[in-house]
Amino acid sequence: MIRPYFLLFISLFVSSGIHAKANADRPKLVVGIVVDQMRWDYLYYYYNEYREDGLKRLMNEGFSCENTMISYMPTITAVGHASLYTGTVPSVHGIAGNDFTINGDFVTSVTDTTVTAVGAESPDKRTGQCSPHNMLSGTIGDALKIATDFKSKVYGVALKDRAAILPAGHGADGAFWWDNKSGHFITSTYYMDKLPLWADAFNKRNKQKPETEVMCSPLGVTLTFKMASEILSQEHLGSDNITDLLAISISSTDIVGHTYGTRGKENHDVYMQLDKELGQFLTKLDQKVGRGNYLLFLTADHGAIHNPNMSLKHKIPSSGWDVSATKESLEEGLKAKFGVEGKYIRSIGDLRIYLDREFIEKNGLDFCAVKQEAVRLLREDTQFLYVVDYENIENQSIPKLIRERLINGYHRGRSGDIAVCLRANMMHGKADADYKGTTHGTWSPDDSHIPLLFMGWHVNEGSTDTYTENIDMAATVCAMLHIQMPNGNLGKPIQEVYRK
């Protein structure tokens, strides 16, 4: 006969297990902030001008990983956002660039022809036909959804579509991005059939005239944080004991950098606005969610090189890669070798060369022979440190770190055929005498060294100079939440960040 006290013991054991599951030690809210094109050294370049409640607060109250590097190339926006939240690299998650090929056709990172725009007044395909379906692995938000039986709420917001969509993940409740033609935020039918009433009201209050330059101004920073605050309030994120996630990306910093460079009034002003808006947003989190009840991280998708003309003015060697000139020279060289007029090169972008397979096959040429000749011709150009056949990287003499980044960044069928590595002092793009902007994409620390700060729930105060990688962020957050890491994760938890 089973004794009554034994039944009581079993009952208490089972109920305590259920209770433990229901009360897993987690914050009420996770907030991720990606500052597009934020170099790591901006933390210190503008430090004396930052407010106490903004970036300085993150640095003083939180934990800074001072030596965080991007573990692949090319170092560009879509790849950065996908890699941060999946904890893995393009060879796994499949977001090979801002644009790349799928089944031979060029697409954007978030192209999805099965969905349409929601909220756009004059929608076009690029603006509204967007979803995360090109991303082949899950995100922090997807892992959080599964861990809470899909009770967690997950949202993404940014001016750029890819910067809102990819971090939010496949299972997100919503992602909102800016439509310049409409002058407000939109989404797609992947998430919902119509905008929530609160989003319609927000858009009416904050509507801009069509084609207003929001992206390349501090106004874009303000609108993004205002929309993030509206999502926080209207969707009641962090209002109960089930952890939610809000992924925010600040896009204006990237557009300002591309236009005006890493120095000057415009760059200064957009980072001052970022600091101001961040401080106000942190105060709102303190009020709405409670100080110590949320976990926040701030990082970047990539950095940027200093403008070559500025560097040259101060006798620092620098230059820009004229992609059009390389394409023209390469076409001439291949025509001379194989004796066939036509288009051998389909596209050059993101430091990658896509050969025109259809043309090569149509003219009865050997694809491998064409590729080998293209590599040979490119290696004669001294502006390239290395030129690699993607399918034969392991057999080429390249420093280990650069080789690993090339391998990590290559996704067969999406990444093209040949990669080039520029010299450390070169920019990806032509730099005319009057050029004052910047760009990114290379393996160099200018493009690959990014900030990574954590603050809030269970975060230690301090910093580390230990080498960490951008993909370690997802593993760190998931370890802190006691949930499984994303299904394609390659990163490792940064244990110095948090209290166990």
- In the predicted structure, residue 19 carries a pLDDT above the cut 50: no
Position 429 scores a pLDDT of: 83
Calpha distance 40→188 (Å, rounded) = 33
Position 432 scores a pLDDT of: 86
Q: What is the mean pLDDT of residues 399-421?
A: 96
pLDDT tens-digit series, residues 442-480: 999 999 999 999 999 999 999 999 999 999 999 999 999
Q: What is the mean pLDDT of residues 138-149?
A: 98
- In the predicted structure, residue 3 carries a pLDDT above the cut 80: no
Calpha distance 158→142 (Å, rounded) = 19
- In the predicted structure, residue 7 carries a pLDDT above the cut 60: no
Please check whether residue 465 is in contact with residue 36, taking contact to mean a CB–CB distance below 8 angstroms. Answer: no
Q: What is the mean pLDDT of residues 132-144?
A: 98
127: confidence class by pLDDT, cuts 50, 70, 90: confident
Position 5 scores a pLDDT of: 44
399: confidence class by pLDDT, cuts 50, 70, 90: very high
Mean confidence (pLDDT) of the chain? 93
pLDDT tens-digit series, residues 305-360: 999 999 999 999 999 999 999 999 999 999 999 999 999 999 999 999 999 999 99
Residue 305 identity: I
Q: What is the mean pLDDT of residues 49-68?
A: 98
Position 396 scores a pLDDT of: 82
Residue 281's CB is within 10 A of a number of other CB atoms, namely 22
Position 499 scores a pLDDT of: 84
pLDDT tens-digit series, residues 150-177: 999 999 999 999 999 999 999 999 999 9
Calpha distance 110→406 (Å, rounded) = 23
**Of how many residues is the chain composed?**
500
Calpha distance 192→263 (Å, rounded) = 41
Position 123 scores a pLDDT of: 64
124: confidence class by pLDDT, cuts 50, 70, 90: low
Indicate the pTM of the whole model.
Answer: 0.93
Position 431 scores a pLDDT of: 81
Residue 33 identity: I
Q: Among all residues, which ones are annotated catalytic?
A: 77
Q: What angle do CA 253, 255, 259 make, to 5 degrees?
A: 115
Position 15 scores a pLDDT of: 44
**What six digits make up the tokens of 365?**
């040429």
Choose the most confident range, by mean pLDDT, from 9-18, 63-72, 113-122, 209-218.
Answer: 63-72
Instruction: Name every residue whose Cβ is closer than 8 Å to that of residue 321 and which is 6 or more positions away in sequence.
Output: 383, 422, 426, 427, 428, 429, 430
Position 128 scores a pLDDT of: 87
Q: What is the mean pLDDT of residues 118-133?
A: 85
- In the predicted structure, residue 500 carries a pLDDT above the cut 50: yes
491: confidence class by pLDDT, cuts 50, 70, 90: very high
Q: What is the mean pLDDT of residues 414-435?
A: 91
